[in-house]
Structure 1
Amino acid sequence: MNHNEITRVQDYLRQTFGNPEINLKAPEKDTLPAEFYINDEFIGVIYRDVDEGEVSYALNMSILEEDLPPGVL
């Protein structure tokens, strides 16, 4: 993702989730995913995809089981 795309996607996410603390960090190479943060906490990565000439962006967020609240038994 290039700088312009990162800015546009970041603005979209901030508006959609109503959170100005969302930040995307550029990858070292344009072919790598951008890193998605809320404040300084890493949330996931955003991939850019092109299919039949249409561009889309996909958020991949991993959730560790240890971070989940206790389950109901």
Structure 2
Amino acid sequence: MKPDEIRKLDAFFKRTFQNPQMQVKARPRKEDSAEVYVGEEFLGIVFKDEEDGDYNFSMAILDIDLA
């Protein structure tokens, strides 16, 4: 993803979840997605759909996290 897309997504996540600790970071070897964090805690991946320009956020929730 381009740096301006990452900045816009970063602002969106902070605003939407009302959490200034949320961060969207570029992935080292992937250009079609970025990583989402709260502080140092990895939350998931946000992908860009090149066909329609929309973004898709994917977050795995582990069973042990629900205990």
TM-score w.r.t. structure 2 length?
A: 0.89
Which runs of structure 2 are paired with 1:1-73 in the superposition (5 Å)? Answer: 1-29=1-29, 31-51=31-51, 54-69=52-67
- The amino acid across from 1:9 in the alignment is L
SS in 2 for 1:55: coil
Distance 1:3 1:61 in 2: 22
Distance 2:65 2:29 in 1: 31
Greater Rg, structure 1 or structure 2? 1
% of aligned pairs identical? 33
Q: CA RMSD in A?
A: 1.3
- Structure 1 unaligned spans of 5+: none
TM-score w.r.t. structure 1 length?
A: 0.82
- The amino acid across from 1:44 in the alignment is G
SS in 2 for 1:50: coil
